[in-house]
A and B are shown apart, each in its own frame.
Chain A
Amino acid sequence: MNKFTRSLIGAAFLALAAGPSLAETPKDSLVMAWQFDDIISLDPAEIFEFSGAEYSAQVYERLIGINVKDVSKIEPAVAESWTVSEDGKTYTFKIRDGVKFHSGNPLTAEDAAYSLQRAVKLNKSPAFILTQFGFTKDNADQKIRAPDPRTLVIETDKAYAPTFVLNCLTAGVASVVDSKLLKQNEKDGDFGYNWLKTNSAGSGAFKLRQWKPNESLTLDANPAYWQGAPEMKRVILRHIAEPATQRLLLEKGDVDVARNLKPEQLDALRSSKEVRIVEAPKGTLWYLSLNQKNPILAKPEVRQAFRYLIDYDAMGSSIMKGIGTIHQAFLPKGFLGALDDKPFKYDPAKARELLTAAGYPDGFTVTMDVRNVTPWTDQAQTIQASAAAAGVKIELLPMDGKQQLTKYRARNQDIFLGQWGADYQDPHTNAETFASNPDNADNGPSKTLAWRNAWDIPELTKKTQAAVLERDAAKRVEIYHELQKAVMEDSPFIVMFQQVEVPVERGNVQGLIWGPSFDNNLYRLATKK
């Protein structure tokens, strides 16, 4: 949408701003407007997208979960207790009695073992969260087993930090699926994958009623849920692509929650008594990175200078207002060991000094790949302007997101402006990508962000790998502090903002939980007055 159309729309809104008359959704149903066109599968062994993760958290349960208020605490879920062996390689979970799947089948340790083995053997995108503990197609049946219906035993290949293993088991890929139901729907040894892609086999507070891709996703309450049936009998998610349409539906009362409003719409709603704006920091970071293949960007002083060329405050109070908060460490708030230091401010004079020291007193010209949608385009223009103050001329190359990513993974960019979302709720997910690069060769097998920027760091890589073996939780946190400081002070990465999800609820909606990641957003306790 160009500026002209936007101001036309703005004018129209002003002219018609008087409160619309109200329609209402039924008291026992929750209706949400949301862009969920990223869902490509409903199988928890494959789901790796934000919307899919949130779906799976309502319909499936995991062995354990994190405490959304204090992420350093692990909470029981389907497993009521667990122990770690002396040698740190064997985890034993006690499965809760009386949990039932939606099909009526009882949930047992065999189901839990089957679910983990299945995810390993299917080996879809999120499978690495489990296979990094040494499980393979061939050994999964031995390493993950259920000696009796209430006991699940998991054996890892090394003595990993228990926090690391447990945090990974809170991920959606470790959801417990109904093994009996899946075996009935299995075809050609696919573990029921082709069926589960569009169906459900869970034990969660809600069950899947209907999924129409890019249209609607309907969930029904599970009246037999062991923690108590949800008050909402039905939750309907409607895919509404256009934020302005979402706002209309919300104000009109045709939806109870709107998920994708933009800053300009949020501003207009701030004074409204009808709706409530909720802010929930999520595990996604906005960052900018400098490809070390470019000899200019590889100079340490230039890397330093870029840290002072970004006007964090100006962006934070305008284009990022309501969608991101300033954050400069590679672990987002809400992660074990996250740092909240913000040492960098916009300082073009200091940047110019650094550039002079690097041998570029008059700056230089460089390109930046940018996704051609907001807020990236706005961010890019702001950065372009603030960098120009120190003589750095940034040429913007706007492109489609997938195209930008393809180029990034081939290491053909100069500067990349983009986002990184944590894969699971453990600090290793980001440490691995920001601070390790096992093989910097062009055909390196591990395309971490450090690799994508050709940042060769044997020392940090070793330290990152050591952190997952540190069994003392406090010492482990200490290592992540050091890693974050190292990357913050000198690296190709300039972390700028942490994403804040801003759902807007109608005043009568209560009890929705907006956690630190999408699979910790929960509808179970929602009520409507």
Chain B
Amino acid sequence: MTDILKSGGTTAAARPRRPAGPLQRIAGLLLSLALTFLGLLLVTFLIGRVVPIDPVLAAVGDRANAETYERMRIEMGLNLPLWQQFINYVADVLRGDFGTSVLTSQPVLDDVRRAFPATLELATAAIFIGVVLGVPAGVFAAVHRGRWPDHLVRVLGLVGYSVPVFWLGLVGLLLFYAKLDIAPGPGRLDVFYDGLVDPVTGVITVDALLAGETEIFWNALSHLALPASILGYFSIAYISRMTRSFMLDQLRQEYITTARVKGLSEFRVIWRHALGNIAVPLITVVALSYANLLEGSVLTETVFAWPGLGLYITNSLLNADMNAVLGGTLVVGAVFIGLNMLSDLLYRLLDPRAKK
């Protein structure tokens, strides 16, 4: 995925020397986007065809007779040469048809529309927790390097890094749901609120607010709290560690000494000058970890019965449900590219050298 990040980031800069007009730049960007997606599709498609799993079996089941099997094989276009299958698929995608999932027998687009908002909700809450707690923790650790606050942050980070999320999720449920009774059980909503709010965005908290159902909003939010905290903890671990090392780098710089000599308050030196200077690499770190969260976390989704994208893609992959896998991959690809462009934009806002 780092390759995609790179290619998305450098295309505009790598254009020929003669000054490119805005139209040409947009055209170039679109072309490189299209090529990236095509490459992504091709690789996923090929992997799907090399896996030693018979996709027809997944569709008709083990007990189908030879005739049914053959008919389905032709229906799925598997009798055609590989290149033709791929061209057919891409042509369908261009027409907006992502095919039907074998597992759910629903259009892949509908499936993704259902699964992605669930993941989006969880990932956004988790990255929010990760940034709000992780960055200050990292700064704090760097400032108090070698003393107990630093050790505390590092140990917590290490634990976050090494404990399996699966285990942490179960223990979280056991403690906060079963034992202390302060968190609701797995799932996105209490069963009896299910289906009461029309899905507009698919993000239940937002939908509930749009519908003015505050009771459902709080219920959804309480269901979100535990899994988001657990995923958030992993983001905190990563973000605080990176923040700490970026900050240590900055604090060694001469301009910091200068600022201190000039008599600036320590607060201003650290939170304005040093932190301001690590904003750009920090954005990359946050964007990367957000993108990872948006791919969906299979284990967290399993433990919390959270019907997200990670679970969807994994299940599909295990069942050779190629339409679903390709559709899901496209979404993940789009997320990576989108976040990458967003962080490019933020660089320009935050990095004074990029301002003209």
Which A residues contact B (CB, under 8 angstroms)? 1, 5, 8-9, 12-13, 16, 18, 20-21, 23, 25-26, 29, 31, 37, 40-41, 48-49, 123-128, 197-198, 210, 212-216, 218, 236, 238-242, 244-245, 248-249, 251-252, 254, 400, 402-403, 405-407, 409, 423, 445-447
In contact, A402 and B178 (Cβ under 8 angstroms): no
Closest to B305 in A: A240
The answer to whether B292 has its CB under 8 Å from any CB of chain A is no
Q: Distance (Å) between the CB of A461 and the closest chain B CB?
A: 17
In contact, B191 and A16 (Cβ under 8 angstroms): no
Which residues from chain A contact B111 at a C-beta distance below 8 Å?
A: 213
| Sample of 28 A–B contacts (CB below 8 Å) | A5-B166, A9-B171, A13-B174, A16-B178, A16-B179, A20-B179, A31-B191, A37-B103, A37-B315, A198-B105, A213-B103, A213-B111, A214-B307, A214-B315, A216-B194, A238-B191, A238-B305, A239-B305, A242-B170, A245-B186, A245-B302, A245-B304, A248-B174, A252-B185, A402-B53, A402-B54, A405-B57, A446-B65
The answer to whether B181 has its CB under 8 Å from any CB of chain A is yes
Residue of B114, B178, B192 near A26 (CB, 8 A) is B192
The answer to whether B104 has its CB under 8 Å from any CB of chain A is yes
Query: Residues 61-86 of chain B: 1 if any A CB is under 8 Å from the residue's CB, otherwise 0?
Result: 11111111001000000000000000
In contact, B166 and A125 (Cβ under 8 angstroms): no
Which residues from chain B contact A239 at a C-beta distance below 8 Å?
A: 305, 307
Closest to B104 in A: A213
Separation of A13 and B315 alpha carbons in the complex (Å): 28
Q: Distance (Å) between the CB of A417 and the closest chain B CB?
A: 15
In contact, B173 and A248 (Cβ under 8 angstroms): yes
Q: Interface size of B by Cβ–Cβ distance < 8 Å?
A: 53
Which residues from chain B contact A249 at a C-beta distance below 8 Å?
A: 185-186
The answer to whether B319 has its CB under 8 Å from any CB of chain A is yes
Separation of A40 and B59 alpha carbons in the complex (Å): 9
Residue of A1, A8, A40, A125 near B68 (CB, 8 A) is A125
Which residues from chain A contact B195 at a C-beta distance below 8 Å?
A: 210, 218
Which residues from chain B contact A20 at a C-beta distance below 8 Å?
A: 177-179, 181
List residues of B (160-183) whose CB comes within 8 Å of A's CBs: 164, 166-167, 170-171, 173-175, 177-179, 181
Separation of A37 and B102 alpha carbons in the complex (Å): 11
Q: Distance (Å) between the CB of A349 and the closest chain B CB?
A: 38
The answer to whether B312 has its CB under 8 Å from any CB of chain A is yes
In contact, A403 and B315 (Cβ under 8 angstroms): no
Residue of A12, A25, A31 near B170 (CB, 8 A) is A12
Separation of A240 and B185 alpha carbons in the complex (Å): 11
Residue of A41, A125, A248 near B178 (CB, 8 A) is A248
Separation of A264 and B111 alpha carbons in the complex (Å): 34
Which residues from chain A contact B171 at a C-beta distance below 8 Å?
A: 9, 12
In contact, A1 and B104 (Cβ under 8 angstroms): no
Separation of A445 and B66 alpha carbons in the complex (Å): 6
The answer to whether B311 has its CB under 8 Å from any CB of chain A is yes
In contact, A402 and B311 (Cβ under 8 angstroms): no
Given that A212-B307, A218-B195 are known contacts, is A400 also in contact with B53, CB under 8 Å in the complex?
A: yes
Which residues from chain B contact A251 at a C-beta distance below 8 Å?
A: 178
Which residues from chain A contact B177 at a C-beta distance below 8 Å?
A: 20, 248, 252
Closest to A209 in B: B195
